[in-house]
Amino acid sequence: MNTKRFFYLMTGFVVLLCLVLIGVTVAGNIVFKKQSDKLVGVKAKGQVAEQQKVSLSQAKKDIEKYTELDGIAKSVVPQDKDQAKTVREINKIAAESGISIQQISFASSNLGLAPAKQSTSSEESGESSEQNKTQAAPTNISQVKPVEGISGVYSLEITIASGDNPVSYYGFLRFLEKLEANRRTAHVTEITVSPTEKGSDVTFTLKLNAYLKP
């Protein structure tokens, strides 16, 4: 084998080796890229799973939070006019305030009363249409009036009186404060106070509204 032929063989071998190295490098890069893409996909799935876990945890907290708020809302604006419970709460507030109450009365019932007929004449059609927009109290609940501007909420008027039993003026003030803080949302609409001859005691009559959403 002469030198020239040997040179050609070595050159061919080197070129072939370079081609093999290039092929291995390209194939390796392709494999690495696929593995990298898989790793990125796994990381992305992991992040999504972590976000879903956080969202689920937050959702559970929200459910607990809003379940509690729903209970408070039903306590603040109950679904029925439980008069016995209302009387118990008012008497409890009075006892905590150190005063006595002689009378607790509710608005007169409208059960058994026929609903007013609406005019159907063409001249009064506009007025009737406007009246139809006014919210009416549900027929299965008596003694309540619709609250203007708040759909589905009704008010029940309650009258509280000390009668002939004078109470401490400061006890009366505490009673008012506790009524305002009562969760059943009692809204005092009218206060009548008469001082006694001693001046330190008073007799009173209160009118307030309790609210409900049937």
Judgement on whether residues 200 and 180 belong to the same structural domain of the protein = yes
Q: What is the pLDDT of residue 173?
A: 92
Judgement on whether residues 104 and 204 belong to the same structural domain of the protein = yes
Judgement on whether residues 35 and 88 belong to the same structural domain of the protein = no
Is the whole model's pTM more than 0.75, yes or no? no
Q: What is the pLDDT of residue 115?
A: 45
13 in helix, strand or coil? helix
Q: Which of 114, 115, 153 is nearest to 132 (CA)?
A: 115
Judgement on whether residues 67 and 37 belong to the same structural domain of the protein = yes
- Identify whether 177 is part of a domain: yes
Domain that holds residue 45: 1-76
- Identify whether 119 is part of a domain: no
Taking each helix axis from N to C end, the angle separating 169-181 and 83-97, rounded to the nearest 10 degrees, works out to 140
Q: DSSP character for 123?
A: G
How far apart CA 47 and CA 49 sit, in angstroms, is: 5
Q: What is the pLDDT of residue 70?
A: 53
How far apart CA 63 and CA 171 sit, in angstroms, is: 41
Q: What is the pLDDT of residue 95?
A: 92
Judgement on whether residues 87 and 72 belong to the same structural domain of the protein = no
- Identify whether 121 is part of a domain: no
Q: What is the pLDDT of residue 77?
A: 45
Judgement on whether residues 101 and 185 belong to the same structural domain of the protein = yes
Judgement on whether residues 6 and 87 belong to the same structural domain of the protein = no
Which residues have C-beta within 8 Å of that of residue 96, sequence separation ≥ 6?
174, 178
Q: Name the E strands within the chain.
A: 103-106, 144-146, 154-161, 167-168, 187-195, 201-212
Judgement on whether residues 97 and 30 belong to the same structural domain of the protein = no
B/e letters for 95-112, b = 16+ CB within 10 Å, e = fewer, are eebebebeebebbeeeee
10-residue averages of pLDDT along the chain (214 residues): 72 82 83 81 81 79 63 47 78 91 76 44 47 48 74 84 88 89 75 85 89 74
Q: How many domains does the chain have?
A: 2
Structure tokens at 143: 């003694």
Q: What is the pLDDT of residue 172?
A: 92
Q: What is the pLDDT of residue 184?
A: 63
